[in-house]
Chain A
Amino acid sequence: GQQLNQSPQSMFIQEGEDVSMNCTSSSIFNTWLWYKQDPGEGPVLLIALYKAGELTSNGRLTAQFGITRKDSFLNISASIPSDVGIYFCAGHRDQGGKLIFGQGTELSVKP
Protein backbone atom coordinates (compact mmCIF):
# COMPACT_ATOMS: atom_id res chain seq x y z
CA GLY A 1 0.00 0.00 0.00
CA GLN A 2 0.92 3.66 -0.14
CA GLN A 3 3.41 4.73 2.48
CA LEU A 4 4.99 7.94 3.60
CA ASN A 5 8.44 7.72 5.15
CA GLN A 6 8.95 10.44 7.69
CA SER A 7 12.29 11.30 9.27
CA PRO A 8 13.73 11.64 11.73
CA GLN A 9 11.60 9.55 14.09
CA SER A 10 12.56 11.74 17.03
CA MET A 11 14.57 14.87 17.74
CA PHE A 12 15.97 16.33 20.94
CA ILE A 13 16.96 19.96 20.57
CA GLN A 14 17.78 23.02 22.62
CA GLU A 15 15.35 25.89 22.83
CA GLY A 16 16.14 28.44 20.15
CA GLU A 17 17.47 25.93 17.63
CA ASP A 18 15.97 25.42 14.19
CA VAL A 19 14.37 22.09 13.30
CA SER A 20 13.91 20.33 9.99
CA MET A 21 11.94 17.18 9.22
CA ASN A 22 10.87 15.59 5.97
CA CYS A 23 8.56 13.14 4.34
CA THR A 24 9.15 11.07 1.22
CA SER A 25 7.08 8.74 -0.86
CA SER A 26 7.46 6.45 -3.84
CA SER A 27 4.15 7.83 -5.16
CA ILE A 28 3.11 11.26 -6.34
CA PHE A 29 0.81 13.29 -4.12
CA ASN A 30 -1.38 16.22 -5.12
CA THR A 31 -1.55 17.76 -1.66
CA TRP A 32 0.78 17.70 1.33
CA LEU A 33 -0.32 18.63 4.82
CA TRP A 34 1.55 18.96 8.08
CA TYR A 35 -0.10 18.33 11.45
CA LYS A 36 0.98 18.57 15.08
CA GLN A 37 -0.42 16.26 17.73
CA ASP A 38 -0.16 16.82 21.46
CA PRO A 39 -0.59 13.89 23.89
CA GLY A 40 -4.22 12.87 24.26
CA GLU A 41 -5.40 15.23 21.54
CA GLY A 42 -6.24 15.13 17.86
CA PRO A 43 -3.89 16.36 15.13
CA VAL A 44 -3.98 20.09 14.46
CA LEU A 45 -3.46 21.31 10.91
CA LEU A 46 -0.37 23.51 10.57
CA ILE A 47 0.20 23.99 6.86
CA ALA A 48 -1.38 22.79 3.60
CA LEU A 49 0.52 22.70 0.29
CA TYR A 50 -1.16 22.37 -3.09
CA LYS A 51 1.43 23.00 -5.81
CA ALA A 52 4.77 21.40 -6.60
CA GLY A 53 7.53 23.76 -5.52
CA GLU A 54 5.20 25.74 -3.26
CA LEU A 55 6.82 27.23 -0.16
CA THR A 56 4.40 28.29 2.58
CA SER A 57 4.96 29.84 6.00
CA ASN A 58 2.86 29.97 9.13
CA GLY A 59 4.67 32.02 11.75
CA ARG A 60 7.89 30.22 12.61
CA LEU A 61 6.90 27.24 10.47
CA THR A 62 7.84 26.86 6.82
CA ALA A 63 6.92 23.93 4.61
CA GLN A 64 7.67 23.07 1.00
CA PHE A 65 6.02 20.83 -1.56
CA GLY A 66 8.80 19.02 -3.42
CA ILE A 67 9.24 19.55 -7.14
CA THR A 68 8.88 15.84 -7.84
CA ARG A 69 5.63 15.80 -5.81
CA LYS A 70 7.04 12.87 -3.87
CA ASP A 71 8.37 14.74 -0.86
CA SER A 72 7.82 17.61 1.53
CA PHE A 73 9.71 19.17 4.39
CA LEU A 74 8.80 21.21 7.45
CA ASN A 75 11.12 23.68 9.17
CA ILE A 76 10.58 25.23 12.57
CA SER A 77 12.75 28.22 13.38
CA ALA A 78 13.80 29.36 16.84
CA SER A 79 12.09 26.50 18.65
CA ILE A 80 10.30 27.10 21.95
CA PRO A 81 9.11 24.61 24.61
CA SER A 82 5.52 24.61 23.33
CA ASP A 83 6.75 23.19 20.02
CA VAL A 84 7.04 19.86 21.80
CA GLY A 85 4.81 17.22 20.26
CA ILE A 86 4.53 14.80 17.37
CA TYR A 87 4.55 16.19 13.86
CA PHE A 88 2.89 14.25 11.08
CA CYS A 89 3.03 14.71 7.35
CA ALA A 90 0.01 13.60 5.33
CA GLY A 91 -0.53 13.30 1.61
CA HIS A 92 -3.60 13.28 -0.55
CA ARG A 93 -3.35 11.51 -3.86
CA ASP A 94 -6.52 11.11 -5.84
CA GLN A 95 -10.18 11.94 -6.12
CA GLY A 96 -11.10 10.29 -2.85
CA GLY A 97 -10.81 11.84 0.58
CA LYS A 98 -8.19 9.56 2.06
CA LEU A 99 -5.11 11.08 3.68
CA ILE A 100 -2.00 8.92 3.97
CA PHE A 101 -0.01 9.71 7.12
CA GLY A 102 3.68 9.39 7.93
CA GLN A 103 4.82 7.70 11.12
CA GLY A 104 5.48 10.99 12.87
CA THR A 105 8.48 12.92 14.21
CA GLU A 106 8.54 13.35 17.97
CA LEU A 107 10.08 16.67 18.93
CA SER A 108 11.49 17.38 22.38
CA VAL A 109 12.75 20.86 23.25
CA LYS A 110 15.05 21.44 26.19
CA PRO A 111 14.66 24.88 27.81
Chain B
Amino acid sequence: NAGVMQNPRHLVRRRGQEARLRCSPMKGHSHVYWYRQLPEEGLKFMVYLQKENIIDESGMPKERFSAEFPKEGPSILRIQQVVRGDSAAYFCASSPPGMGTHEQYFGPGTRLTVT
Protein backbone atom coordinates (compact mmCIF):
# COMPACT_ATOMS: atom_id res chain seq x y z
CA ASN B 1 0.00 0.00 0.00
CA ALA B 2 2.00 2.93 -1.31
CA GLY B 3 2.01 6.11 0.70
CA VAL B 4 1.77 9.66 -0.58
CA MET B 5 4.23 10.15 -3.42
CA GLN B 6 5.85 13.41 -4.36
CA ASN B 7 8.23 14.25 -7.15
CA PRO B 8 10.71 15.53 -7.70
CA ARG B 9 12.32 15.19 -4.26
CA HIS B 10 14.71 18.02 -5.05
CA LEU B 11 14.22 20.83 -7.53
CA VAL B 12 16.60 23.64 -8.39
CA ARG B 13 15.31 26.63 -10.31
CA ARG B 14 16.81 29.96 -11.27
CA ARG B 15 14.96 33.13 -10.40
CA GLY B 16 12.16 33.76 -12.86
CA GLN B 17 11.66 30.13 -13.86
CA GLU B 18 8.61 28.02 -13.14
CA ALA B 19 8.46 25.20 -10.61
CA ARG B 20 6.00 22.30 -10.86
CA LEU B 21 5.59 20.00 -7.89
CA ARG B 22 3.59 16.80 -8.17
CA CYS B 23 1.70 14.79 -5.58
CA SER B 24 -0.05 11.46 -5.85
CA PRO B 25 -2.25 10.78 -2.81
CA MET B 26 -2.55 7.46 -1.05
CA LYS B 27 -4.79 4.94 -2.75
CA GLY B 28 -8.41 5.65 -1.91
CA HIS B 29 -7.72 9.18 -0.68
CA SER B 30 -9.56 11.99 -2.41
CA HIS B 31 -8.43 14.97 -0.34
CA VAL B 32 -5.08 16.63 -0.96
CA TYR B 33 -3.35 19.37 1.03
CA TRP B 34 -0.21 21.36 0.34
CA TYR B 35 2.01 22.79 3.07
CA ARG B 36 5.24 24.78 3.03
CA GLN B 37 8.03 24.44 5.57
CA LEU B 38 10.86 26.90 6.00
CA PRO B 39 14.05 25.74 7.77
CA GLU B 40 13.54 25.14 11.51
CA GLU B 41 9.86 26.03 11.34
CA GLY B 42 6.59 24.17 11.44
CA LEU B 43 4.48 23.49 8.40
CA LYS B 44 2.22 26.23 7.06
CA PHE B 45 -0.99 25.35 5.25
CA MET B 46 -1.31 26.52 1.68
CA VAL B 47 -4.27 24.87 -0.06
CA TYR B 48 -6.81 22.07 0.26
CA LEU B 49 -8.20 20.36 -2.83
CA GLN B 50 -10.58 17.61 -3.75
CA LYS B 51 -10.85 16.18 -7.23
CA GLU B 52 -11.31 19.11 -9.65
CA ASN B 53 -12.15 21.51 -6.81
CA ILE B 54 -10.21 23.94 -4.66
CA ILE B 55 -11.83 23.84 -1.23
CA ASP B 56 -9.62 26.24 0.74
CA GLU B 57 -6.77 28.31 -0.66
CA SER B 58 -6.51 30.71 2.25
CA GLY B 59 -2.79 29.96 2.72
CA MET B 60 -1.77 30.45 -0.89
CA PRO B 61 0.06 33.63 -1.89
CA LYS B 62 -2.20 35.67 -4.13
CA GLU B 63 0.24 35.83 -7.01
CA ARG B 64 2.43 33.31 -8.82
CA PHE B 65 1.10 30.26 -6.93
CA SER B 66 -1.61 27.92 -8.19
CA ALA B 67 -2.74 24.39 -7.46
CA GLU B 68 -4.90 21.82 -9.16
CA PHE B 69 -6.09 18.28 -8.60
CA PRO B 70 -7.51 17.03 -11.90
CA LYS B 71 -9.90 14.16 -12.34
CA GLU B 72 -7.06 12.02 -13.60
CA GLY B 73 -3.47 12.30 -12.51
CA PRO B 74 -1.57 13.86 -9.64
CA SER B 75 -2.13 17.13 -7.87
CA ILE B 76 0.16 19.90 -9.11
CA LEU B 77 1.48 22.90 -7.19
CA ARG B 78 2.77 25.46 -9.65
CA ILE B 79 4.98 28.41 -8.80
CA GLN B 80 5.58 30.89 -11.57
CA GLN B 81 8.52 33.29 -11.76
CA VAL B 82 10.17 31.86 -8.67
CA VAL B 83 12.07 34.13 -6.28
CA ARG B 84 14.67 33.28 -3.62
CA GLY B 85 12.04 33.47 -0.90
CA ASP B 86 10.20 30.53 -2.47
CA SER B 87 13.05 28.23 -1.42
CA ALA B 88 11.50 25.80 1.06
CA ALA B 89 10.28 22.24 1.50
CA TYR B 90 6.81 21.70 0.07
CA PHE B 91 4.79 18.83 1.49
CA CYS B 92 1.69 17.22 0.19
CA ALA B 93 -0.70 15.31 2.43
CA SER B 94 -3.80 13.26 1.72
CA SER B 95 -6.76 12.01 3.70
CA PRO B 96 -9.61 9.61 2.95
CA PRO B 97 -13.06 10.80 1.88
CA GLY B 98 -15.86 11.41 4.35
CA MET B 99 -16.25 13.35 7.53
CA GLY B 100 -15.01 12.33 10.92
CA THR B 101 -11.31 11.99 10.32
CA HIS B 102 -8.79 14.74 10.00
CA GLU B 103 -5.80 12.46 9.85
CA GLN B 104 -3.50 13.67 7.12
CA TYR B 105 -0.70 11.52 5.77
CA PHE B 106 2.32 13.28 4.37
CA GLY B 107 4.62 12.61 1.47
CA PRO B 108 8.41 12.94 1.63
CA GLY B 109 8.33 16.50 0.30
CA THR B 110 9.93 18.44 -2.53
CA ARG B 111 12.87 20.63 -1.58
CA LEU B 112 12.87 23.66 -3.84
CA THR B 113 16.02 25.72 -4.13
CA VAL B 114 15.92 28.98 -6.06
CA THR B 115 19.32 30.25 -7.17
List residues of A whose CB falls within 8 A of some B CB. Answer: 4, 6, 30-31, 33, 35, 40-45, 48, 88, 90, 92, 96-104
Interface residues in B24-45 by Cβ distance below 8 A to A read 31, 33, 35, 40-45
B1 at the interface (CB under 8 A from A): no
In the bound complex, CA of A104 to CA of B4 (Å): 22
Determine whether the beta carbon of B103 is less than 8 Å from that of A101.
Answer: no
Q: A97 touches which one: B4, B41, B95 (CB < 8 A)?
A: B95
Task: Knowing A43-B43, A43-B91, A88-B42, say if A99 contacts B104 (CB, 8 Å).
Answer: yes
A95 to B45, alpha carbons, bound, how many Å? 15
Number of A-B contacts (CB under 8 A): 69
Bound together, the chains give a CA A88 to CA B40 distance in angstroms of 12
Instruction: Decide yes or no: A41 and B55 within 8 Å by CB, A33-B102, A97-B48, A98-B48 being known contacts.
Output: no
The answer to whether A101 touches B31, judged by C-beta atoms less than 8 angstroms apart, is no
Residue total for B at the interface (Cβ-Cβ under 8 A): 28
- Of the A-B pairs whose beta carbons lie under 8 Å apart in the complex, a sample of 22, sorted by A's number, is A4-B42, A31-B102, A33-B104, A40-B111, A42-B91, A42-B106, A42-B107, A42-B109, A43-B106, A45-B106, A48-B101, A48-B102, A88-B42, A88-B43, A90-B43, A97-B33, A97-B102, A98-B48, A98-B56, A99-B33, A99-B45, A101-B43
Nearest CB on B from A107, distance (A): 14
Which 4 pairs of residues, A with B, have the shortest CB-CB distance? A101-B42, A42-B106, A97-B48, A92-B102
Q: How far is the CA of A45 from the CA of B55 in the complex (A)?
A: 23
- Binary per-residue interface labels of chain B (1-19) against chain A in the complex, 1 for a CB within 8 Å, 0 otherwise: 0001010000000000000
A102: chain B residues at CB < 8 Å are: 42
Q: Point out the residue from B40, B58, B105 that lies within 8 Å of A98, measured CB to CB.
A: B58
Which residues of chain B have C-beta atoms less than 8 A from A40's C-beta? 108, 111
